[in-house]
Amino acid sequence: MPAESATNSTLATLQARIAGGQAVVGIFGLGYVGLPLALRFAEVGLKVIGFDIDPRKVEMLNAGQSYIERLTPERIQEAARRGFEATADFARTSEADALIICVPTPLNAHREPDLSFIVNTIEAALPHMRAGQLVSLESTTWPGTTDEVLAPRLRAHGLNPGENCALVFSPEREDPGNPHYGTKDIPKVIGGTTPSCLSLGTALYQHAIQTMVPVSSTRAAEMTKLLENIHRSVNIGLVNEMKIVADKMGINIHEVIEAAATKPFGFVAYKPGPGLGGHCIPIDPFYLTWKAREYGVNTRFIELAGEINHYMPHWVVSKVADALNDRGKAVKGSRILVLGLAYKKNIDDTRESPAVEIMDLLQNKGAHIEYSDPHVPVFPRKRDYHFDLQSVQLNAQTLASFDCVVLATDHDGFDYALVENHASLIVDTRGRLRGESGHVVAA
């Protein structure tokens, strides 16, 4: 058989398996992105193999347990009944028709992109890959990663995108805690290395996602995700700077935002806070600033917003110090309770949470730190921070025992009347308590 016919036959077989709902989906990285996607593919009847290097996650999933609050054990167990299983054995890569990479892309100590998770994943999978597989990268990264990092590695193993395999980039758009938009509801952007790659990738995701948004290339798809997150970063940086200015002028920024939001056009309300959290907004803009330097472009606007947002935990700590000082106390030796450990309300995700940095900064100044978060009962393992703490149960006696309470994450589950009535000093970073009481300080 001629080589061209062989490769066409290989992709035709993949296309038929996808179209017939017989494709086996392999998800690499079973975190806040990969696990919801794995469950969604299982829900629509596709066989799913979940890969993760953390044996604890693999063990919990195969036992029908969940380590993500919003993904119930019942959903895990139902997916298992439909054929979902987790493994740390990358040799099983050959069993999957589609390989979807959902691993972290952090920054290194110099705030430069760290693609080690992507590279390690593809290097571990490649010895077990075969012709006729689809590879999709979902991890947020700089434009060109799919073409410049993944494609050459595939070709080195005889896998040529568009000929005997397919390669696409389709950025994750998960929004933990959003009650209106789950995995299936959020439109899915996708770009392919070739038109046939795009067609195959779109056909696969259409099983699980209601709306597909194809774009002209993997680079366009990569840039789309960065624009989404940079848009938010810049606007949050703006409103955080406005908060500092308003505070100096004795103006309540939350009142101003609410008033401005009554304009029916030309204004979108963004809320200030103690800093940026989650795995996207604090990190992703710097992927573009790093790549832009290769083209001789300085992304000053993006970097300025990043500087402002990065400064906010330090601003909160300065407000805590001033508030304690006004009451004749120093940060050193004070007992401080941080309310909310997650990066946003009503979830258990603490990645890049400003609350954690605030705790670290205050502890470094000599404060005795505790935290309370109904969604995070035990302080999680982290690369850069370690607190041997468990969540404090809120009651009148506990609140009264602290010199200061810092509201870092405004979970709806907190009893704010209890907090306001029994805490001697509250520093509110979220505008949840309007500061009408003399012991509430806006930050």
Annotated catalytic residues are 280
* DSSP assignment letter at 274: S
Instruction: Give the span between the Cα atoms of 96 and 112, in whole angstroms.
Output: 33
Rounded (10°) CA dihedral 272, 310, 282, 108: -170
Rounded (10°) CA dihedral 67, 201, 104, 173: -70
Q: In what order do the strands lie in the sheet with 404-407?
A: 368-372, 335-339, 404-407, 426-428, 440-442
Q: Are 326 and 360 in contact (CB under 8 A)?
A: no
Helices (runs of H) and strands (runs of E) counted in the chain: 15, 13
Q: Are 66 and 72 in contact (CB under 8 A)?
A: yes
DSSP-assigned states of every residue in 152-183: HHHHHTT--BTTTBEEEE------TT-SS--T
Residue that is written with structure tokens 């870092």 in the block = 408
